[in-house]
Amino acid sequence: MAFCKYCGTKLEDGVPCTCEEAVKAAAAKAAKEAEEKTAAEKAEAEKAAEEPAPAKLPAVEVLDKAPVASPDDAYKKLMRRGLILIVIVSVMFMFFIAALAAVFGGGYKSPLKKAVKGINRERSSLVITAFMPEEQIEDIADSLDGTDTEMRDVVDDLDLFIEDMKDVCEEDYFGDDLKVSVRIDDKKEASNRDFRRIRKHFDDLGAEAKKAYKLKVELTVKGDDEREEVRFNIYSVKLSGRKWVLYADDKTMGKLTGRFGKVYAEIKEDADEVVSDHKESLDALSGEVKAQND
């Protein structure tokens, strides 16, 4: 049994994953294969066109037969077919990228918007992939070998965790129709000192950081009764393989917990119960689940 290397979903043999990252990778692969096929056909046609034409025979009148196509005609036909294929693939690929950009914003913005979307739609896989490199997700899936829990079970349970926690926030503080939104107010490259710290963090996880931006963002959480806003800094990090993930340092986490301290005081009793109900999955996500010996 295999797992998706992007979101950790358990897959049946031969069945591809349908998460955003897996679909994007499959589309890119298909576009590349189509481009290589077109290039090969063009090279073959050019080679055929360069071969000397056969010696001309004396003219003979032939009745009821279609004219024989010349090498030039064959080359033009191949070129037309290849050009049409390139146009179709290009249009499809650009449409796919545009659709993703409409959902996630693309580039350094994508993990932040992905995390917010995961919370609002109660899809923990989006939150996980927004913060964790593929290598870390694979390590978590491997750590579950020998236990009664699989990665798919963890993801499903964390979906319920988000749903339950939102219910508590609505009932105890914010009111109905809880929504989370985020706005990026500023972006600049991480300082050399910060990037060294970020690079070490991802090195420890088996991933390679290529670039990092320091984002100044405003997070808004609101329901029908209450609204809370907080401004803080967070890093968007580009990893080897072109995936972007978020990195929050201790200063960021301290500001968030401090700002929402009064909210937590209101919901603490019910929130602690939700955490207890989903503790096994939360432990798995933090790498604290160990394989049990039979």
* 3-state secondary structure at position 148: coil
Contacts of 164 (CB under 8 A, 6+ apart): 274, 277, 278
Percentage of the chain exceeding pLDDT 70: 64
Band (pLDDT 50/70/90 cuts) for residue 79 is: very low
291 in a structural domain: no
Q: What is the pLDDT of residue 159?
A: 92
Q: What CA–CA distance (Å, rounded) separates 25 from 162?
A: 28
100 in the same domain as 115: no
In Å, how far from its chain's centre is CA 58?
66
Same domain, 266 and 158: yes
Helix (H, G, I), strand (E, B) or coil at 245: strand
- For the chain, the average pLDDT equals 75
Shared domain for 73 and 142, answered yes or no, is no
Query: Does 50 score more than 80 pLDDT?
Result: no
Dist CA 37 CA 82 (whole Å): 9
DSSP state of 170: I
Number of domains making up the chain: 2
Per-residue pLDDT at 51 = 52
CATH code for the domain of 115: 3.10.450
Give the sheet arrangement for strand 227-239, strand by strand: 179-189, 209-222, 227-239, 244-247
* Sequence-distant (≥ 6) Cβ neighbours of residue 248 within 8 angstroms: 234, 235, 256
Are residue 33 and residue 116 in the same domain, yes or no? no
Domain membership of residue 99 (yes or no) is: yes
- CA–CA gap between residue 229 and residue 259 (Å, rounded): 9
Asked, for residue 292, whether it belongs to a domain, the answer is: no
User: Which of the two residues, 121 and 11, has the higher pLDDT score?
Assistant: 121
pLDDT interval class at 160 (50, 70, 90):
very high
Q: Which positions ≥6 away from 194 have C-beta within 8 Å?
A: 212, 214, 235
Residues β-bridged to residue 238: 211, 244
E strand segments, the chain = 2-3, 10-11, 179-189, 209-222, 227-239, 244-247
Mean pLDDT of 130-151: 86
Distance of CA 15 to the CA centre of its chain: 18
Instruction: Kindly give the residue spans of alpha helices, DSSP state H, lying in 4-59.
Output: 20-50
The CA-CA-CA angle for residues 140, 145, 146, to 5°, reads: 140
Q: Centre a 10 Å sphere on the Cβ of residue 179 and count the other Cβ atoms it contains.
A: 14
Query: Mean of the pLDDT values across residues 32-50?
Result: 66
Question: Does residue 222 fall inside a structural domain?
Answer: yes
- For residue 290, being part of any structural domain is answered with no
In a domain, 63, yes or no: no
Angstrom distance (rounded) from CA 284 to CA 98: 35
Cβ–Cβ under 8 Å, residues 75 and 83: no
Q: What are the residues facing 180 on neighbouring strands?
A: 221
Considering the domain architecture, whether residues 10 and 75 belong to the same structural domain is answered as: yes
> pLDDT higher for 186 or 103?
186
In the prediction, which pLDDT does 249 show? 83
Same domain, yes or no, for 91 and 134? no
Question: Over 70: is that where the pLDDT of 83 sits?
Answer: no
Which domain covers residue 150, as residue numbers?
109-285
Higher pLDDT: 32 or 176? It is 176
pLDDT tens by residue, 261-287: 888 888 889 988 988 999 888 888 876
One domain, residues 25 and 120: no
> Is the pLDDT assigned to residue 157 strictly greater than 80?
yes
Asked, for residue 235, whether it belongs to a domain, the answer is: yes
Per-residue pLDDT tens over the stretch 185-226 = 999 999 999 999 999 999 998 999 999 999 999 989 999 999
Give yes or no: residues 82 and 187 share one domain.
no
**Above 80 in pLDDT, residue 16?**
no
> Does the structure show a pLDDT above 80 at 169?
yes
- The residues near 154 (Cβ < 8 Å, ≥ 6 apart) are 8, 140, 144, 281, 284, 285
Can you tell me the distance from the alpha carbon of 119 to that of 163, in angstroms, rounded to the nearest whole number?
8
